[in-house]
A = this chain, B = another copy of it.
Amino acid sequence: MNRKPGRRSSRPDSPSAGAPANGAPEENSDYVLSEQIGYLLRRAYQRHTAIFQAAIPDDKLTSVQFAVLTTVRDHPNSPLVLVAQRTAIDHATLRDIVLRLKRRGLLHVVADHQDRRQRLLSLSPEGTRLVESVIPDARRITELTLANLSACERLAAIEVLRKLSRD
């Protein structure tokens, strides 16, 4: 991966990488991808999910699935809409996720007697056990994700991301 490129072929010839040089409007020349907030958010989230998958004992459990499980644990007998709100997951997306968790027997879905439109979610015993056992790993994953940050920067990160998430 970190071999020296040795690529002098196909002349990368990027005059645009340096300075505008010509009379080009500098408007479009200083749009540097690696400084864009969207690019950085994607990379940071990418790295986190990679850390999650590497550190989690259960190969099949994803970051998002775990979020759903903990939410259902904290709010049992909630309909899909509520879980979607609490996890900030789209309805359609949540549906797929719930199907997978149900298939694995981690989740129960029962119809509500009061409002028959709703399906209420709750953890199965196995689901409960899994969540309990994975939480220490989740803490470790948080630690690994934040490894490059000082205590002060961690607070700043949380604060800034909270504001970046706010609609």
24 contacts between A and B (CB under 8 A): A7-B82, A9-B112, A9-B115, A10-B78, A10-B115, A12-B82, A17-B74, A27-B135, A31-B139, A35-B158, A37-B145, A37-B146, A38-B52, A38-B63, A38-B142, A38-B145, A41-B44, A42-B63, A43-B165, A44-B164, A47-B164, A47-B165, A149-B160, A149-B163
Q: How far is the CA of A48 from the CA of B38 in the complex (A)?
A: 6
A67 and B39 contact, Cβ closer than 8 Å, known pairs A14-B74, A75-B12, A114-B9? yes
Q: Which residues of the other chain, B, contact A71 by a CB distance below 8 angstroms?
A: 33
A38 and B141 contact, Cβ closer than 8 Å, known pairs A9-B115, A43-B88, A44-B161? yes
Q: How far is the CA of A45 from the CA of B88 in the complex (A)?
A: 12
Query: Residues of A with Cβ closer than 8 Å to B?
Result: 7, 9-14, 16-17, 27-28, 31, 33, 35-49, 52, 63-64, 67, 70-71, 73-79, 82, 86-88, 112-115, 118, 120, 131-132, 135-136, 138-139, 141-142, 145-146, 148-149, 153, 156-167
Q: Are A142 and B9 in contact (CB under 8 A)?
A: no
CB of A121, distance to nearest CB on chain B (Å): 11
Q: Are A42 and B10 in contact (CB under 8 A)?
A: no
CB of A32, distance to nearest CB on chain B (Å): 8
- In-complex Cβ contact of A135 among B28, B39, B73, B165 (8 A): B28
A36 and B142 contact, Cβ closer than 8 Å, known pairs A74-B14, A75-B14, A132-B28? yes
